[in-house]
Structure 1
Amino acid sequence: MLLSVIGAIILGFPIAFALAGVATLYGLALIGPFVGNIFMLRLFQVLQDYILIAIPLFVFMGVVIEQTGIASQLYRTVLEWVGHIRGGLAIATVLAATIFAAATGVVGASVVAIGILALPQMLKYGYSKPLTTGVICAGGALGILIPPSIMLVVYGPTAGVSIGALFLAAIPAGLLLSGLYVLYVSLLCHLRPEEGPAYKGEPIPWTKKITDAAVSILPVGLLILAVLGSIFFGLAAPTEAAALGAFGSLLLALVYKKLTLRSLFEAAYRAVRISAMVYMVLIGAGFLSAIFVRLRGGDAVAHLVAGLDLPTWAVILVMLAVVFILGMFVDWIGIVMITVPLFIPIAKALGLDLLWFSMLLIVTMQTSFLTPPFAYTIFYLKGIAPPEVTTWDIYRGVVPFILLQLLGVILIGFFPEIVLWLPKILGLWS
């Protein structure tokens, strides 16, 4: 079944129809017409899941924020603070993308918004094309990890792990990756100054820096605090917090004088399209999972792995390798729906901490946005890049950041408290 799904995706079928189609064929062949009842039950489970309502709300929040022009103000403000050092434009891009990721939770919005702002600036001041494209892709990909993240909202119910605990664990994980990116850029540009020369702009008074930070970063920070804080302190469920975030994004748009009927319609339309795509994949994956479980596939995989007689660390490496390889061909939704129902029972059988193991999977899964040939960030950036920036430039640019992501996985693997300390302190994980 797994090979059939991957084959269908490689042949060009949309992932939702690949999942549902394979489930239908195997279901009819091995179960019979009764499979229709199984599909209807699973369909209602997905559509009645209260937590999943957070998906269209978070998407709407991200789209509205993208349209307000907050990203451009964020970038300019961060550039004022760090642009004067070597690699400052690239570091500003990573930092702005990190803040923007926490406000949107949508990779496409982050890559496009940051790319439109940062790409011309870095090329203008002589930054190498691989470094320029790499930091934009890697920074934009943080949008799927740093809360509020759609990936975490989908992953939580699938794995049976609290979304609040995942949000808390993902904050230090995302900041770890962001810090690794900044450290890499700084070292590279000091060792090879031609990669990222210092930005030679006019000196900016401290009063302007502080004022710009208050105008551009503070409102976004308050919105993030309202969304995440309401979840962490038990004031709201993730779905209610998503509604609060969507409402807050409209207030921001109103304050920035960007809220019009046309912009509101476009934001709603884009949010509906993206959410419908996510729901179609969830429904298709639900069908496949139902058939797989009905045919005792999960038990077979668990017995197979248990029978390998490998040490625990080797089993973890095998599972992470599967996720990494799938990331080259399948998007994150497909990876979640294909691997999580198989791997979580194995992790339980091995006695692993599910939150720690989940973060290993999620950070590894994030590499799917950078690993060729099917890397969404590369496609997004290529769509807005000038002709002189080739796909090969982008491929070369993302390789160091893929390695940095894997280094992040290793650090989380050896030091679980990186992701566990915050959920434990706030009592969402024991």
Structure 2
Amino acid sequence: MEWYLSALYLVGGLLFCMFIGTPVVVAFFAVNVFGAAIFMGGMAGIDQAITNSTTAVTSFALVPVPLFMLMGALLFHTGLAARVFDALDKCFGSIKGRLSYLTVAGGTLFATLSGSSIANTALLGTTLLPDMIKRGYKKHMIMGPILATGGLAMIIPPSSLAVLLGSLARIDVGALLIAGLIPGLILAVGFIIVIAVQIKLDPDAAPGYDTQRASAREIFHAVVVDVLPMGLVVFAVIGMILLGWATPSESAAFGTLAVIILAVFQGVLTFSAINKSLMEALKVSGMMLIIIVGSTTFSQLLAFSGASAGLIGYAKTLDLSPMALVGLMFLIVLILGMFMDQLSIMMLTIPIFMPLIALHGFDPVWFGVVMLLGLELSLATPPFGLLLFVMLSVSPPGTTIIEVARAAVPFILCTLLLVVLLVIFPQLALWLPELIRN
């Protein structure tokens, strides 16, 4: 069978199953079973595909996924994250647009602790949105910063999606986690600039109001008691990797342990919080691991059928510069984000993208960061961007998906600008990983 017919069957069959509403997991397994029967020799091929798939979820590199999920869930259900926001709120005083700035500052800090964009967005929405509505903030000044900052958890370590991307694409997970730190912080600064410009252009968008200013003693107490202890978690997750003291798996375990220790000292570690956190981490991690099984088998079928080699050969014949090819890949991710979730996008594209990246000599860690930014943008891409619906679920009654998407546009442009900067200055992503290697 010609390579393009193989690719049409595998990729086209998968897209067709998703188009008719088949769950992602079922779609991948259906295509994999028929693909193994056709390309690998009937039942013997199916048996071999099942045997190969077990190695996908027994990789030690995937250990950080459930641990990061558990860490973020514990921060949320014990109330430690809410305490951080209360402390930061006291620090901002009565500056104009205070709650929008607080969204970015608190959301960035929580992104370094949770590893989950959905958890980050949900926390910001439930914690800050009611007060912003009460204070008379316009909708775009409420939803835009929450949507944008919620997605930071995808690129700022610890990022569960970065661990999955590294595992699927055979990228050094530790290097990929650390590579997102500087771009993530630059993006947070960019979001603050966007908010400042919006307030400058429309002062009524974030009306000022009198608030009881906390004393210097209260601010100091809040920072010392509620914010600084979180440095233990940040150090356990990021610092230990930077110093070379721990692998990503070990740092994820230390980070979870640090959250538990803080919760015990704060007196908020209850049986209910532990139970809810474990169940949440179990559900999400189980779903991810099942999808990884389908993705790995799909990648093997693309290679075994000759579709991967054919696609690479075809790419060589295209009159595209290497950067134009990367731009095309980025565009594909954005388009797929209109209809698919991030895990499905990675599973579908990584087996095709990574051989092309290797062919043109791009650094896989750099491309991983660009890919994560594309996945972050796709979270806010209409009509099915997941964060759009998370935001819609916590927004005031009568809010439409169009209003939510429009609020995200300035922050989407900010992320696109960061991608351009990464193309011009790849060391923004590569400096820290190279520092660790050396």
1:14 — aligned with what? 23
Deviates more, 1:331-340 or 1:167-176: 331-340
Pairing 1:28–2:37 present: yes
Task: Indicate which of 11, 15, 22 corresponds to 1:2.
Answer: 11
The counterpart of 2:88, out of the listed 78, 100, 117, is 78
Change (3 A) 1:358 1:114: same
5 Å-filtered alignment, 1:361-380, equals 361-380=371-390
Please point out which of 105, 116, 120 is paired with 1:106.
Answer: 116
Could you tell me how far apart the structure 2 residues matched to 1:54 and 1:288 are? 23
1:188 aligns with 2:204: no
1:282 aligns with 2:292: yes
| Equivalent residue for 2:174, pick from 144, 147, 164 | 164
Query: Whole-Å Cα distance in 2 between the matches of residues 318 and 47 of structure 1?
Result: 31
Structure 1 vs Structure 2 CA RMSD? 1.7
Amino acid paired to 2:224: A
Task: Report the Cα offset of residue 83 of structure 1.
Answer: 4.9
Q: CA deviation at 1:167?
A: 1.6
Alpha-carbon distance in 1 for matches of 2:24, 2:183: 28
Classify the secondary structure of the residue corresponding to 1:148.
Answer: coil
Alpha carbons 2:36, 2:49 under 8 Å: kept: no
1:18-77 deviation digits (Å, cap 9, x = unpaired):
222222223323432222233223322123101112111111111001112122222222
Give secondary structure in 2 for the equivalent of 1:386: coil
Aligned-partner residue type, residue 73 of structure 1: R
TM-fit CA distance, 1:199: 4.4
SS in structure 2 at match of 1:34: helix
Q: Is the 8 A contact 1:51 1:153 kept in 2?
A: yes
CA distance in 2 between partners of 1:122 and 1:162 (Å): 41
Alpha-carbon separation, structure 2, partners of 1:261 and 1:251:
15
Give the Cα–Cα distance (whole angstroms) in 1 for the partners of residues 19 and 416 of structure 2: 25
For the residues of structure 1 that align with 2:305 and 2:205, how far apart are their CA atoms? Answer: 55
CA deviations 1:261-310 (Å, max 9, x no partner) are 22211211111111111111111111211211111211111112111121
- Structure 1: runs of 5 or more not aligned: none
Residue in structure 1 matching 2:217, options 207, 222, 234: 207
Cα distance in 2, alignment partners of residues 404 and 163 from structure 1: 26
Amino acid at match of 1:86: K
TM-score between the two structures when normalised by the length of structure 1: 0.95
Match of 1:355 among 351, 362, 365: 365
After TM superposition, give the deviation of residue 147 of structure 1 in Å. 0.6
Following the alignment from structure 1 to structure 2, what is the Cα–Cα distance between the partners of residues 405 and 83? 28
Q: Higher mean Cα deviation, 300-309 or 181-190?
A: 300-309
Q: How many angstroms apart in 1 are the aligned matches of 2:339 and 2:106?
A: 29
Flag the 1:379–1:208 CA change in 2: closer, same or farther, 3 A: same
Q: Distance in 1 between matches of 2:172 and 2:436?
A: 13
Q: Against the structure 1 CA distance between its residues 202 and 48, is the aligned structure 2 distance closer, same or farther, given a 3 Å change threshold?
A: same
Contact 1:144 1:150 in 2 (8 A): yes
Q: Quick check: 1:409 aligned with 2:419? A: yes
Which residue of structure 2 aligns with residue 251 of structure 1?
Answer: 261
User: Structure 2: 5+ residue runs without aligned partners?
Assistant: 1-9
Return the alpha-carbon distance in structure 1 between the equivalents of residues 244 and 252 of structure 2. 14
CA separation of 1:10/1:98 partners in 2, compared to 1, >3 Å: closer, same or farther?
farther
What's the CA shift string for 1:78-109, capped at 9, x where partnerless?
22233522222111101100000110001221
Partner residue, 1:305: 315
In structure 1, how many angstroms separate the alpha carbons of the residues matched to 2:198 and 2:374?
A: 24
Which string of whole-angstrom CA distances, capped at 9 and with x for unpartnered residues, describes residues 354-393 of structure 1?
A: 2222211111121121111121112222223331433332
Amino acid at match of 2:91: W
- Answer whether contact 1:363 1:409 (CA < 8 A) is retained: yes
Q: Partners in 2 of 1:359 and 1:266 — Cα distance? A: 32
- Per the alignment, residue 409 of structure 2 pairs with 399
Residues of 2 paired with 1:88 and 1:258: CA distance? 28
Q: Is the 8 A contact 2:39 2:301 kept in 1?
A: no
Offset of 1:9 from its aligned partner? 2.3
Q: Is the 8 A contact 2:77 2:276 kept in 1?
A: no
From 135, 143, 152, give the equivalent of 1:133.
143
What residue is the counterpart of 1:266 in the other structure? 276
Query: How many percent of aligned residue pairs carry the same amino acid?
Result: 30
Structure 1 residue runs of 4+, over 3 Å off? none
1:90 to 90, 96, 100: 100
Post-superposition offset of 1:313 = 1.8
Q: Displacement, 1:10?
A: 3.2
Residues in 1 aligned to 2:227 and 2:314: alpha-carbon distance in whole angstroms: 51
Q: 1:151 aligns with which of 161, 185, 195?
A: 161
* SS across alignment from 1:33: helix
Asked if 1 retains the 8 angstrom alpha-carbon contact of 2:78 and 2:273, the reply is no
For residue 197 of structure 1, the aligned residue among 200, 207, 214 is 207
Q: Is the 8 A contact 1:134 1:397 kept in 2?
A: yes
Contact 1:83/1:198 (CA < 8 Å) preserved in 2? no
Please name the residue that 2:3 is paired with.
none
**TM-score, normalised on structure 2?**
0.93
What residue in structure 2 maps to residue 314 of structure 1? 324
Deviations 1:183-240 (A, max 9, x none): 1001110121111123431122222222211222112221111122222222222112
Count of aligned pairs between the two proteins: 428
Q: State the AA in 2 paired with 1:425.
A: L
In structure 1, distance between residues paired with 2:311 and 2:217? 61
Q: Distance in 1 between matches of 2:75 and 2:142?
A: 24
